[in-house]
Structure 1
């Protein structure tokens, strides 16, 4: 089973954001660093680390780190 805290830490580091943002309800889209390029980096990172391919529609709907975590948990085999 994937650790929720480790998932958040991993994504925050990949996105170049502050570790104190590694919380379930952190809205990554509200960050001034967020861009379409970071969306692609996030999709690739989740695929490489957890073996889950997040679709573009799932990425568009996700607002928080918790949303992304739920996508990964639901799609891990």
Structure 2
């Protein structure tokens, strides 16, 4: 064995990579637009002040926003 991948291995890897990109693209798009829209949800919470349990909701929204920013960061860069 020479350690050089065969042509069929390269084709398989290319196909898997393409399928992965095709499968991830909608997730990336949804994450990007969610990250754009999520700050609109903050406004009523911030304007009305935090009542019982809303601070936890606010922290959860911040965590969700960070996750959406991370997942959607590559949207539109192809």
TM-score by length of 1: 0.28
Greater helix proportion: 2
| Larger RCO, structure (CA 8 Å, separation 6 or more) | 2
TM-score by length of 2: 0.28
